[in-house]
Amino acid sequence: MGFPWYRVHTVVLNDHGRLLSVHITHTALVAGWADSMALYELAVFDPSDPVLDPMWRQGVTCSGFGAFHLTSLYGLEIWVSDPYGLKGKSTTCKSSMGRGSVRQPRLYKGLRIRNIKTVLSSSIAAVFFAAFVLAGTM
């Protein structure tokens, strides 16, 4: 059927270049799968039935919220809802990110080759965050 999940990691564990390339390839495969699913949803899109339309239920067509609020065109806002998801509102938020929020010595320490797992997890998290933002702005 295939190799166990740990088989690939034990083969490339001491070769950082191959370990990085395996994870980048995996990220590309996941992104390609997500893109193909989005194209499939576009192919079967039926605007005459808005209730059972899967693109509407998944939030793929919510372009107004993501395109304008995440880009700060109308101010940076986030959607806040109650725990049950019955009601919600868009509220402004202050960004804590800026030049002063990144500690450069800590960043350089984290980007050393000995901390390759830190770099991989950060890059994979960044890719998934970018996919989340992209899905919200479509």
Tens-level pLDDT at each residue, the chain (138 residues): 566 666 666 777 777 777 778 788 888 888 888 788 777 777 777 767 666 665 555 555 444 444 444 444 455 555 566 666 566 666 665 555 444 455 556 656 655 555 566 566 666 777 777 777 766 665
Q: Which residue has the tokens 């070769």?
A: 15
The structure's pTM equals 0.37
| 87 vs 78: CA distance, rounded Å | 14
Segment holding 89, helix H or strand E: strand 88-92
CA atoms of 117 and 83, how far apart (whole Å): 34
**Spatial distance between the Cα atoms of 10 and 14, rounded to a whole number of angstroms:** 8
